Structure 1
Amino acid sequence: MACNSCASAKPDANNNPTWRRALWIALAVNAAMFVAEMAAGVAGGSKALQADALDFLGDAANYAISLGVAGMALAWRARAALLKGATLAILGIYVLAASLWAVWQGRTPDAELMGVVGVAALVANAGVALMLYRFRSGDANMRSVWICSRNDAIGNVAVVLAAAGVFGTGTAWPDLIVAAIMALLGISGGVQIIRQARRELAGERDACDDPLAGVA
């Protein structure tokens, strides 16, 4: 007999209405903040704001995918987590490359605009992170949502500090350094998600190969 789900009899937290509602709220917040922060980053010449905006975009896609696979078998959720982890790592690599390229551009960003938008983003992300905190110990799909929210909240603190640094030094270096750190944080988070998703997929394959798996 083919193994269709190979799942345990435990209730699936991904079917929890509270989880779904939290994802919808997080999706709306992140989509709105992506538009606002990217516009501010381009207008103010801040790579840190643009990096943070890309995080908002990645998280919005993250939440949309999580909503799409919520309630599916663990294997499908793990595959979705693999996609999200790879996307997060790729965005981090892009931001890191853009920050290195900006070293030669020489434009000093608008520190005041960075500070105001950074604080607004921090409030938005801190609220989302607190809302999702209870789900941080779930499967790779749920954990990926928590990791992205946590990374964004940390990134927002860094953006505010970068704004203070730009204001104090009159140079772009604090902005570029923070953008690079955020990029590395994104790459690290993506790798964590990919590793856990691969472990879950391997566990599912083992369970399907063993007809006695899960039998008391």
Structure 2
Amino acid sequence: MAMVTADASAAADAATKQPEADKDYSSYNGASTAGVGGGARRGGGGVVESVVARWKREDMLDKCPLALHAAAAAFAFVALVLVASNQHGDWMQFDRYQEYIYLLAIAALAFAYSLAQALRHAHRMRSGADLISAPSARLFDFIADQVVAYLLMSALSAAIPITNRMRTAVINNFTDATAAAISMAFLAFVALALSATVSGYKLSRQMYM
């Protein structure tokens, strides 16, 4: 009789603990499932975010050449106008100095090149077709930007010393105009140097792929 009672008590205790165990395991399993689902959702969101970020980066790199060449054309044009109009008689004539004639010629070249490149990139973005074949377009951009940027730096290197010597003796409209032209030509150089950097990055990706 005592054995039967003990078995009954053990069965009752087991019946009492079983729901609690089931409850614990079900809760644990539910938490695990939710965690896995949340991780999957987070993983999917990370993939989407990376793809969107890549699209934005590609779009920015695609628009950079147009913006940089347009800026270079604007700066070079201002430098060109400042030098060409810098004529005040006597020694204050830009054409009396080879350095300023050289600066004028390179500013005109940089303006013509940058404007042509800006129009080309605008046409490419609007029509989807480049005027230069795709395999050689990036190589052309990379080399041409560097060449024109180098010529601008060469003109700046020639014009800066003589302008500094003049400004130590006198500061007037002539020296102020030449200094402003040099500043604009330098900004055009910076824009083309940045454009060459972007072109080099695109070219390296093209060669890698």
Normalized against structure 1, the TM-score is what? 0.39
Normalized against structure 2, the TM-score is what? 0.40
